[in-house]
Structure 1
Amino acid sequence: MTHPFFTPTSPRVFAHRGLVAAGDEHAPNTFAAFAAAHAEGVEYIESDCHLTADGEVVLFHDDTLASITGDPRRVDQVTAHEMERQLADRGGLVTLEQAFDAFPRMRFNIDVKANDAAGPAGRIIGRYAERALVTSFSDARRLTALRAAAPARPATSAGRATIIRLLLAAAIRAETWASRLLAEIDALQIPERQGPVRVLTRRLIDYAHTAGTEVHVWTVNDTDRMRLLIGRGVDGIVTDRSDAALRTLG
């Protein structure tokens, strides 16, 4: 049965960390970036979470604040209040819980970036599970901890270890093995290529769809490429240009 995260919308456009258009003063993964995506009609937002020093799950990509505010400290070394102050003129801090509450019609694709964030994020996401798709490079540790903490099951994307096994299964045409790997996976979120390795293949798409798993490709900003990928059977595009993607694919 399809998880309720996946509405009938097709193809899916995921606003990568919200929407920051040319000339915008706000940073990605901020309230202003999410509001801009919402104003464009985006239904899905991709974001990342960390845990602050005082235990708040906040939406932020990097391990440190350096690239956004110039503060070299890690997110887990500052309080949510400190982050809120530093981001006040960059679009505004958003906690994970605030995101779900402030944008009740949005669905959030959350990438867990830190081990310590998995359990607290799971307890929050479990309350909004029908609007959540979770992912992490770490299948074994972060996703397992998040699912264990969540009172209800969010949709789940495959982590790195599962994707590597799936690529091997596709390469050797081991469809039964691929089906087993995909049994608990709602979405594959992958790049077209990883260095010299082609990740997205026709066989991988076919195996995923046979198992009832969607395929989303990141991060695609060229509109011609978006059209090509959707034409090849991809179900969703993760993009920095969700405004252009909606016009192109809508």
Structure 2
Amino acid sequence: MSPAEPLPYLDSAVPLAFAHRGFSPPGSAVENSLQAFRAAVELGFDYLETDLRTSSDGVLMVFHDETLDRATDGSGKISEHTLAELSRLRIGGAEPIPSFEQLVAEFPETKINFDVKDSAGVAPLVEIIERFSLHDRICVASFSDARRRSVLSRLRKRTASSGGMWSIAAFVLFSAWTPRRWLKRLLHDVDCLQVPVRAGILPVVTRKSVHRAHLLGLKLHVWTINDKPEMHRLFDLGVDGVMTDRADLLAEVMHERGYWH
């Protein structure tokens, strides 16, 4: 596949809708569980967003926090527990913590956007991607550009990737005045930018920044938007995707705008 050809993951006639950690209906707390991802798929979502952390025995787990305390009935760092120990814990008092392998096997038709949270996860992640041939189904993201690139460099096939913290900072700070060819060289392994609406007092997502991203050949996805008017506003600006905790609301917006039928 040449750099000019669209990657299957990003090749869509309409903006993408991402279920951020699946869908936990208001009042529930089952984020990043198979139940949450199942609920999102039932609402019509083809794109799931999640996080990957590694157990002490090298198993890639679907989990956001460094520690278990907030989201489960366990405590301590997830990296200090074996798979067997983690399997006894429950998210929201009910749901087990899934492994990444369980997630990709459970939802073979969905596309998955994930944040690689630790360096220990690089090798097991690459092994799963290659074994399941996930290259066209995933977007490799990480706040660490070095970690993200470590994954990409080991894959046998070009795979979609979202820029890390330094890539995003380069775009936000320099895209308005830096020659495009320099930015393209700097962001040569970035296919999309997944950003907040603002970074402190600095607006990140504007009509101009969306236009600049598109001039660079990049998709712009925005997180984490849980308000319907704001979802509509961002789509009106031309963003290429929205991530949300309120998959029910984003599903309504996708139907209202005619993106989903």
Query: How much does 1:73 deviate?
Result: 1.4
How far has the Cα of 1:7 moved from its partner?
4.3
Q: Deviations over 1:58-79 (max 9, x none)?
A: 1000001010224331111111
Secondary structure at the counterpart of residue 66 of structure 1: coil
Unaligned runs of 5+ in 1: none
Matching residue's letter, 2:24:
V
Q: Return the letter of the residue paired with 1:131.
A: R
Q: Per-residue deviation at 1:115?
A: 1.5
Structure 2 unaligned runs (5+)?
Answer: 256-261
Distance between the aligned counterparts of 1:243 and 1:182, measured in 2?
Answer: 34
Matched, 1:159 2:153: no
For residue 217 of structure 1, report the CA deviation from its aligned partner: 0.3
Letter of the 2:122 counterpart: A
Task: Identify the residue that residue 146 of structure 1 maps to in structure 2.
Answer: 151
Structure 2 CA distance, aligned partners of 1:80 and 1:150?
Answer: 25
Measure, in 1, the Cα distance between the counterparts of 2:245 and 2:230.
14
**How far apart, CA to CA, are the structure 1 residues paired with 2:95 and 2:10?**
28
- Residue 210 of structure 2 aligns with an amino acid whose one-letter code is I
Rounded to whole Å, the distance in 1 between the matches of 2:53 and 2:201 is 31
In terms of fraction of residues, the more helix-rich structure is: 1
Q: Structure 1 residue 133 and structure 2 residue 139: aligned?
A: yes
Mapped partners of 1:54, 1:157: distance in 2: 28
The aligned residue for residue 31 of structure 1 is 34
Does the aligned pair in 1 maintain the 2:58–2:120 contact within 8 Å?
no
Q: CA deviation at 1:110?
A: 0.7
Structure 2 CA distance for partners of 1:45 and 1:33, relative to 1, 3 Å:
same
Paired residues of 2:53 and 2:117 also in contact (CA < 8 A):
yes
Moved over 3 A (4+): none
Q: Write the distance in 2 (CA, Å) between the matches of 1:162 and 1:8.
A: 24
Q: Partner amino acid for 1:17? A: R
Provide the rounded CA distance (Å) in 2 between the counterparts of 1:212 and 1:171. 15
Identity over aligned pairs, percent = 35
**1:181 — aligned with what?**
186
SS in 1 for 2:136: helix
CA distance in 2, matches of 1:201, 1:170: 13
SS in 2 for 1:158: coil
Normalised TM-score (structure 1): 0.93
Q: How many angstroms apart in 2 are the aligned matches of 1:225 and 1:56? A: 38
> Does the C-alpha gap of structure 1 residues 179 and 145 become closer, same or farther in structure 2, counting only changes over 3 Å?
closer
Alignment length (residue pairs): 248
Displacement of 1:152 after TM fit? Answer: 2.8
Per the alignment, residue 43 of structure 1 pairs with: 46
User: 2:12 matched to 1:5?
Assistant: no
Write the distance in 1 (CA, Å) between the matches of 2:87 and 2:199: 35
| Farther off after superposition, 79-88 or 109-118 | 79-88
